[in-house]
């Protein structure tokens, strides 16, 4: 494909701390994060265009028809999708790009775009996961149960990813992901032409 930026796809169960890790990663690195479209309602403090493009279901379905998404999936009864055009534009301009998406979406991208690096973020334990989701205060007892059950299923997919990062301390998780990006950029097959040009 001849793109220069590194595509980094991050998944993990709800409450693993993907959002916090990504935020810390972006503060320290020149990485562009894709803002997804979703049909779910905003949580307290979430801003349209920053956290998500909050999109009515009807409009989302139109975007699917127009082939506007790189991938999309239904998660917990809502649609989530990665707007296509901007991601490739950024990669072609040499920017590293993060997609923070669910497993279904990540696996679709993995088969279409194997040059991406796929990272699974894990909580230190199920107890910690439960307390993080509960403290977030945004879930009903019903949806908390749904997310915890889903977490067990999701964790079994970690083996499909290239790397697993346990998010015990955010700074450590960030360091690990920075190292993963650096290692990916040293892969011989990705820099062969650049290396051969030097010697």
By CB under 6 A, name the one of 5, 105, 116, 123 that touches ligand 5GP.
105
By CB under 6 A, name the one of 20, 40, 134, 185 that touches ligand 5GP.
40
To the question of whether residue 158 is assigned a binding role by annotation, the answer is no
Q: Considering beta carbons, is residue 76 or 187 the nearer one to ligand 5GP?
A: 76
- Tokens for 17, please give them: 């701390």
To the question of whether residue 17 is assigned a binding role by annotation, the answer is yes
DSSP 48: B
To the question of whether residue 2 is assigned a binding role by annotation, the answer is no
Does position 39 interact with ligand 5GP (CB under 6 A)? The reply is no
Shortest Å distance, C-beta 80 to ligand 5GP: 3
Q: What distances in angstroms separate CA 147 from CA 49, 126, 131, 179, 180, one per listed residue?
A: 25, 12, 12, 30, 28
SS (H, E, C) 58-104: HHHHHHHHCCCEEEEEEECCEEEEEEHHHHHHHHHCCCEEEEECCHH
- Helix (H) and strand (E) counts for the chain? 8, 9
The contact mask relative to ligand 5GP for 145-164 (x = CB under 6 A, - = no) is --------------------
Task: Measure CA of the first residue to CA of the last residue in the chain; give whole Å.
Answer: 24
Per CB under 6 A, which of residues 62..101 are in contact with ligand 5GP? 71-73, 75, 80-82, 100-101
To the question of whether residue 137 is assigned a binding role by annotation, the answer is no
Binding residues for ATP: 12-19
Residues near ligand 5GP (CB under 6 A): 14, 36, 40, 71-73, 75, 80-82, 100-102, 104-105
């Amino acid at each position: 494909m001849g793109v220069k930026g590194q595509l980094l796809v991050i998944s993990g169960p709800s409450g693993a701390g993907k959002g916090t890790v990504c935020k810390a990663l972006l503060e320290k690195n020149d990485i562009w994060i894709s803002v997804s479209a979703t049909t779910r309602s905003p949580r307290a403090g979430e801003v349209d265009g920053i956290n998500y493009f909050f999109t009515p279901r009807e409009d989302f379905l139109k975007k699917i028809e127009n082939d506007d998404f790189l991938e999309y999936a239904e998660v917990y009864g809502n649609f989530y999708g990665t707007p296509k055009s901007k991601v490739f534009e950024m990669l072609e301009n040499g920017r590293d790009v993060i997609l923070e998406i669910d497993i279904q979406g990540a696996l679709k991208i993995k088969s279409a775009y194997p040059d991406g690096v796929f990272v699974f973020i894990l909580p230190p334990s199920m107890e910690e996961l439960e307390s993080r989701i509960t403290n977030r205060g945004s879930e009903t007892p019903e949806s908390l149960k749904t997310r915890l059950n889903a977490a067990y299923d999701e964790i079994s997919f970690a083996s499909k990813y290239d790397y697993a990062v346990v998010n015990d301390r955010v700074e450590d998780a960030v360091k690990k992901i920075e190292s993963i990006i650096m290692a990916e950029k040293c892969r011989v097959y990705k820099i062969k032409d650049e290396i051969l040009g030097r010697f």
